[in-house]
Copies of this chain bind each other. A is one copy, B any other.
């Protein structure tokens, strides 16, 4: 990378980090728990989130989503079918979300307990852009092979939770879950993992419980340390 390009890239990232810091302060002040969901395209983010949002709403939580896509509002429409507010961010030719895009989409989410940010399907670039989230979640579908953590180490190194998705067809695609777990642990020792299927619903109530726990822990921490 040439020096001048590097300088510009550094500036973009610095500006992003400043906006992300403001977002994080705003989310803390409003007690919104924010989850940045990343994966390759077609990993099943939207389907899983739609079911998860329905599950969390049934537990009495206020849930919302912003979703980044290049060109269509299909994913926001699919998420809105859960009955929750969902805001589409059209990124044009941008392969990731940046903090200012999230900021500009936030107005409808002020009373939200849990806000999902569904990133653009891409295993590389989203890693560089902090969105002010509390939790980074990586979807790792059974259909993509066991070697993703080694071939795309950047994202797993910034995520807190790996969801093995599409586990209902794991046997049909000869997915070796033990090898996939070992590869995740090697790329990021100690990372939490959970097996899920948006189609059968497997793992979704455990996932909902985990998120509610984290959301409550954030609130408890706020009560203990008032600004």
Contacts and interface: CB of A to CB of B under 8 A. Distances in A.
Interface string A61-94: 0000000011110110000000000000000011
A56 to B, nearest CB: 23
A143 interface: yes
Nearest to A173: B169
A12 interface: yes
A63 to B, nearest CB: 23
Contact of A8 (B5, B144, B150, B151): B5
B148 A42 contact: yes
Contact of A42 (B93, B122, B144, B150): B144
Given A95-B122, A123-B121, A151 B5 contact: no
A166 interface: yes
A70 B121 contact: no
Given A5-B8, A8-B8, A153 B70 contact: yes
A45 to B, nearest CB: 11
A42 to B, nearest CB: 3
Interface of A: 4-5, 8, 12, 40-43, 69-72, 74-75, 93-95, 120-125, 128, 141, 143-145, 147-148, 150-154, 166, 169, 172-173
10 contacts: A4-B8, A5-B8, A40-B40, A41-B151, A41-B152, A42-B141, A72-B150, A72-B151, A122-B124, A125-B125
